[in-house]
């Protein structure tokens, strides 16, 4: 009888710790998920999405460097090939523009309201921003 109670006691303890671990794991996973959701939502303004190894992205980067664009236009860069959270931000912005996955790639620029796709249009966007800034300092 005593051995049966000990077994039941140990089974109860094991179930308790499994339940505790399960609740802790869910809480941790939920906290991590909410962190990424919050950080993605806090990204605002002009966002330049690019991918490491993308030739067209390198063309945009060369233009940005040669023309000191970062000193003239405030924007955020997000790499999407190696960062799934950034890729999700890109997908969210593309969805706002009504684009499906097949309709966009990088370089991709979000100006706060509109999607601009491709190195030619992204460079044109920055040229226009710089021109406006020089006309109206």
Domain count for the chain: 2
Residue 62 and residue 95 in one domain: yes
Residue 31 and residue 58 in one domain: no
Residue 49 and residue 98 in one domain: yes
pLDDT tens for residues 22-67? 655 555 544 444 444 444 445 779 999 999 999 999 999 999 999 9
Asked whether the whole model's pTM tops 0.85, one would answer no
| Cα–Cα distance, 49 to 1 (Å, whole number) | 68
């Amino acid at each position: 009888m005593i051995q049966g109670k000990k077994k039941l006691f140990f089974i109860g303890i094991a179930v308790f710790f499994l339940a505790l671990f399960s609740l802790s794991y869910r809480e941790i996973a939920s906290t991590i998920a909410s962190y990424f959701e919050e950080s993605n939502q806090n990204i605002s303004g002009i966002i330049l999405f690019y991918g490491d190894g993308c030739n067209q992205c390198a063309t945009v980067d060369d233009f940005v460097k040669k023309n000191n664009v970062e000193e003239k236009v405030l924007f955020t860069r997000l790499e999407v090939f190696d960062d799934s959270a950034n890729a999700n931000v890109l997908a969210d912005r593309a969805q706002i523009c009504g684009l499906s996955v097949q309709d966009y790639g990088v370089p991709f620029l979000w100006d706060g309201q509109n999607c601009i796709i491709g190195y030619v249009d992204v460079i044109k966007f920055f040229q226009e921003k710089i021109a406006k800034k020089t006309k109206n300092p």
